Amino acid sequence: MSQPTKLVLIGPPGVGKGTQAMLLETRLHAVPLSSGAIFRSEIEQGTELGLLAKDYIEKGQLVPDDVTIAMMSRRLRQDDVSQNGFILDGFPRTVKQAESLDTILLELGFPIDAVVQLIVEDEVVVERLAGRLTCPKCGATFHLKNCPPKVEGICDRCGTELMMRADDHPDAIRRRLVEFREKTAPVVGYYASRGILRPVDADRSPEEVYSEIVRGIRV
């Protein structure tokens, strides 16, 4: 059997990381790990971690590194990840997180195969996020105009009622873009210097972006 794939998806909010993680999961059978989705589930359950993260997330700010790293370190150590590999979506978002991820993976003995950098202009992101509808259960995303669900307000995949995320409003979107430029863009350089970065133009249909990713990572 071939080795499990270990991928990182990196790019600004709204670039399509979650959509690509779902498409890649079908092909690679690796575990999609979205730090944002884990935080939202903790908030929903009212846990201590959720309470801590809620304010940061609603304002569009990054949750502090120590909290995020501890949460992802726990998740990466679970058996399904070592058996099937992972598709990280939204982590790492700072150089400190990237360094910690290296340390964790060194301990676990499975290095990253490739880091896919999804690229779009800010205007595209703002347009996409402002009309985005998200399924709170399975994480699928739709768009009021560009990609409406078959039945209004209902997820095509699992039938759950769709919602708009609390951080998909103009102020939080702007803050998230600033956070991306200031804190996450340096992570791209961190991986480029190692020769594992695969830049992909993400201002295209999800299927076209997916095909280019698959070509770039040769899986």
**Structure token digits, residue 193:** 């210097």
Report, in Å, the least distance between residue 12 CB and ligand AMP.
Answer: 9
* Residue 165 among the catalytic residues: yes
User: Which residue in 6, 17, 40, 183 is the catalytic one?
Assistant: 17
Report, in Å, the least distance between residue 9 CB and ligand AMP.
Answer: 10
Binding site for ligand AMP (CB under 6 A): 13, 34-36, 39, 56-57, 60-63, 68, 90-91, 93, 97, 167, 176
* Residue 194 among the catalytic residues: no
- In three-state secondary structure terms, 201 is strand
* Residue 204 among the catalytic residues: no
User: Which residue in 6, 40, 128, 165 is the catalytic one?
Assistant: 165
CB 73 within 8 A of CB 104: yes
Residue (52 or 211) nearer to ligand AMP, CB: 52
Residue (5 or 141) nearer to ligand AMP, CB: 141
Q: How far apart are CA 50 and CA 146, in angstroms?
A: 32
| Beta-strand relationship, 141-143 and 132-134 | antiparallel
Q: How far apart are CA 40 and CA 121, in angstroms?
A: 26
Task: Tell which phi-psi region holds residue 31, choosing left (phi > 0), alpha (psi between -120 and 50) or beta.
Answer: beta
User: Which residue in 6, 40, 128, 176 is the catalytic one?
Assistant: 176
Report, in Å, the least distance between residue 35 CB and ligand AMP.
Answer: 3
Report, in Å, the least distance between residue 145 CB and ligand AMP.
Answer: 20
Distances (CA, A) of 79 to 76, 105, 159: 8, 14, 29
Residue numbers annotated as active site: 17, 93, 132, 165, 176
